[in-house]
Amino acid sequence: MNRSDFYRTVATNPVAIRALLWSKLPLAAFAGLRVARLDESGAEVTLPAGWKTQNPFGSTYFAAQAMAAEMSSGVPALWFIDQSGADVASLVTGISAKFTRKATSRARFVFADGAAMRAAIDRAAQSVDPVVFTARSVGTQGDGSQIAEFEVEWSFKKRASNH
């Protein structure tokens, strides 16, 4: 198993991702985020409803939704960078959201433009300038209704070599 396959296995294994989240992203672990799918097209992250993610109005807190949306594009970004073998840094430089319906049940956030993200990472690996990529993540709940749409702006930049 190569490193990229290992990364994908960890990200999509319920026990392994919990351990990774508790060690690196404890807030996401506490909220119960899970990577349901990671492949060349992108990723799907699930967000449970309930007291850990609820706001005072009985729906899912916007910040919990933002965390799931960011993770749905962040996990593929890290995976694609790892697959490229290049020393590329990633950083969220902006985020915007539209909330279209009250989120009251388990939600899923899907980022589905992996090919364009991979191309942006490849461009960054070949340039000294950062490459900005806007990832769109759509949140839906159990009945299929859309609850939110996020745009997460990523900056990918080749790290300077220390030679």
**Per-residue pLDDT tens digits of the chain, which is 163 residues long:** 666 677 677 777 777 777 777 777 888 888 999 999 999 999 999 999 999 999 899 999 999 999 999 999 999 999 999 999 999 999 999 999 999 999 999 999 999 999 999 999 999 999 999 999 999 999 999 999 999 999 999 999 999 876 4
**Residue boundaries of the structural domains of the chain:** 3-158
What pLDDT is stored for residue 137 in this prediction? Answer: 98
**Residue 96: strand pairing partners:** 151
CATH ID of 3-158, from 3.40.50.2000, 3.40.50.1220, 3.10.129.10, 3.30.460.80: 3.10.129.10
What pLDDT is stored for residue 13 in this prediction? Answer: 75
Angle made by CA atoms 22, 27, 30, in degrees to the nearest 5 = 70
What pLDDT is stored for residue 7 in this prediction? Answer: 66
The answer for 75, left when phi > 0, alpha when psi is -120 to 50, beta otherwise, is alpha
Put the strands of the sheet holding 42-47 in their side by side order: 34-39, 42-47, 107-111, 131-141, 146-158, 88-99
Token couple for 109:
């956030």
